Amino acid sequence: MSKVFLIDANFRPLDPIHPAQARQLLRNKKAAVYKKFPFTLILEESKPDISVSPLRFKIDPGSKTTGIALVNDATGEVVFAAHLEHKGFQIRDALTSRKQIRRSRRNRKTRYRQPPKHEWFRKGNKQPCAKQRRENWLAPSLRSRVDNIKTWVERLRKIAPIEAISQELVRFDMQLIRHPNIQGKEYQQGTLFGYETREYLLEKWNRQCAYCDAKDVPLQIEHIHCRAKGGSDSITNLTLSCEKCNLKKGTKDIKDFLKKDSARLEKILKQVKQPLADATAVNTTRFALLEILKATGLPVETGSGGLTKFNRTQQGLPKTHYFDAACVGQSTPILDIKRLKPLFITANGHGTRQICRTDKYGFPNRHCSRTKFHFGFQTGDIVKAVVTSSKKMGQYVGRIATRATGSFNVSTKTGLVQGISHRYCKRIHAKDGYSYAF
């Protein structure tokens, strides 16, 4: 089980403790619950003389999800792990919907408006009056991803003695892929040689044979244009193949080998030129995230995705985002993951400013209340509801959606429960823009 975070009365982060110690402190009334997610206790007195063991904050950024881990470099213990799910696609869809609704409204209400008559206004109504983008501007969907990680770095620094950060800066080391003989870094030599290329191809070709779509079989790196006839080792000339298809193709040209399957030939030649969309999203934000991490004043270590996979497979760990995070960088020790229970975090945002909802055609059909709080609760709070009577008898824990009538909806890990009265609800975690699950 993950450790419990502990701070003293002066809000100084102490070493995370075992859950049994946390129960004992609460039983003896020497500590109180400071925060529910992640679970944190605060002592009744300060402990200025207690030394603490430094932790390393490790991040495996992704386009949809990000892995987070706190590792003790001295002991190798993973004291905390989290799976952070971003809302980039929701932001993109919301911006698209807003653009469509505004365009429809302008078309309805200003249909016959004449163009401006003043020359200076016509000139100013073009590109010069558009919003000038900042030098380090990112699309809102990408910016939210960076801000989510920044938020959790700041939150965990308040409750854990973090003194170093490791970030997976690039998904793939493209320079190493193009020039396999490059020197200068230890991880590019020895047993890791060629690891970046293999991992890149596995991601690009969906971990299946390009010629027969076979999965869960040993895959080999195959040259589309064979080397015997002048083919190069460039990444644009490589694909994945099962042993049967590789032997069958031999030194044949791919056009001769697939002359009876023109659709597959076209698909392979098209896929060769396509970059990785997720890797592109990560690469777009990597340096913005790096600058934010450096601004914390802590030493920041970086590593590549190929190195992360090498560290993970060397220790026999399964493929998860939080284990990938624990394996980021050269500093990765022999990890101790006994009874680790990760926290699953989902970014939900803080609501919307829309004053009305619209139908699928963009016409307003219902009003949104300006009142945020109802009976002391607001949408996004995490509550514990103990229903003692009615058809919905039972205990429910989850994120609520409030109504002015006092009948709330509770989103639990097993599904949505509707019509829970506010009288049965007790708030255990105030709304902070995220939802949590184990």
First vs last C-alpha separation in the chain: 11
| Per-residue pLDDT band at 126 (split at 50, 70, 90) | very low
Does any domain span residue 359? no
Residue 135 inside a domain? The answer is no
Rounded CA gap, 336 and 162, in Å? 18
Cα separation of 285 and 156, whole Å?
21
The pLDDT > 90 percentage for the chain reads 40
Residue 256 pLDDT level (bands cut at 50, 70, 90): confident
325 and 56 Cβ atoms separated by less than 8 Å: no
Do 332 and 311 belong to one domain?
A: yes
> Does residue 79 or residue 199 have the better pLDDT?
79
Structural domain range at position 185: 176-277
Instruction: Return d(Cα 43, Cα 30) in angstroms, integer.
Output: 6
**38 prior amide bond cis, ω within 30:** yes
Q: How many CB atoms lie within 10 A of CB 64?
A: 14
HSE-CB of 19 using CA atoms within 13 angstroms: 8
Shared domain for 61 and 152, answered yes or no, is: yes
Q: Are residues 185 and 291 in the same domain?
A: no
**DSSP code of 379?**
T
Mean pLDDT over 101-124 rounds to 63
Q: Give the mean pLDDT of the chain.
A: 83
- What integer pLDDT is reported at residue 129 of this predicted model? 41
Residue finishing a domain among 240, 255, 277:
277
Residues 286, 165 share a domain: yes
pLDDT at residue 262, as a whole number: 87
270 falls within a domain: yes
Residue 97 in any domain: the answer is no
**What is the per-residue pLDDT for 242?**
92
375 closest CA partner among 412, 402, 409: 402
Q: Are residues 272 and 154 in the same domain?
A: no
- Comparing 76-80, 187-191, 269-273, 330-334, the range with the smallest average pLDDT is 187-191
Q: Which residue has the higher pLDDT, 99 or 108?
A: 99
Show which of 277, 303, 325 is a domain's final residue: 277
Q: Does residue 4 surpass a pLDDT of 70?
A: yes
Q: Under a CB-based contact definition with an 8 Å cutoff, are residues 346 and 85 in contact?
A: yes
DSSP string, 19-34: HHHHHHHHHTTSEEEE
Would you place residue 127 in the very low, low, confident or very high pLDDT band (cuts 50, 70, 90)? very low
Residues 70 and 169 in one domain: yes
- Rounded CA gap, 340 and 268, in Å? 41
Q: Is residue 127 part of a domain?
A: no
Give the residue from 277, 309, 333 where a domain finishes.
277
* Mean pLDDT along residues 315-329: 92
Q: What is the pLDDT of residues 28-51, one digit of tens each?
A: 999 999 999 999 999 999 888 888
Average pLDDT rounded to a whole number, residues 423-430: 92
**How many domains are there within the chain?**
4
CB 336 within 8 A of CB 78: yes
CA-to-CA separations, 65 to 101, 258, 269, 322, in angstroms, rounded? 30, 38, 30, 10
Q: Which two tokens stand for residue 369?
A: 């209340």
Name residue 34's beta-bridge partners: none
Please state the rounded mean pLDDT for residues 384-408. Answer: 90
The better pLDDT of the pair 414, 67 is held by: 67
Please say whether the dihedral angle defined by the alpha carbons of residues 15, 20, 25 and 31, taken in this order, is positive or negative: positive
In this structure, are 243 and 195 located in the same domain? yes
Instruction: Say yes or no: 212 and 322 in one domain.
Output: no
- Strand 373-374 to 434-437 pairing: unpaired
Rounded Cα gap, residues 334 and 315, in angstroms = 7
- State residue 279's pLDDT score: 63
Q: How, if at all, do strands 78-85 and 343-347 pair? A: parallel
Residue 93 inside a domain? The answer is no
The pLDDT confidence band at residue 282, using thresholds 50, 70 and 90, is: confident
Span 368-384, average pLDDT:
88
Instruction: Give the CATH number for residue 202.
Output: 1.10.30
- A 10 A CB-CB count for 335 gives 21
Q: Which two tokens stand for residue 334?
A: 């022999």
Say what the pLDDT of residue 172 is: 56
Task: Give the model confidence (pLDDT) of 291-304 as tens digits.
Answer: 999 999 999 999 88
Cα angle for residues 402, 406, 407 (degrees, 5° grid): 75
User: pLDDT per residue over 169-225, tens digit each?
Assistant: 876 555 555 555 544 443 444 444 455 677 778 877 888 899 998 888 888 888 888
Report if residue 299 sits inside a domain. Answer: yes
Q: Does position 57 have pLDDT exceeding 90, yes or no?
A: yes
Domain check: are 269 and 387 in the same one? no
Are 59 and 169 part of one and the same domain? yes
Please, which pLDDT band fits residue 118 given cuts at 50, 70 and 90?
low
Handedness of CA 175, 177, 182, 185 (dihedral sign): positive
> Do 156 and 192 fall within a single domain?
no
Do the beta carbons of residue 85 and residue 52 sit within 8 Å? no
Residue 66 confidence (pLDDT) above 80: yes
Strand partners, 394: 387
C-beta of residue 203 within 8 angstroms of C-beta of residue 319 = no
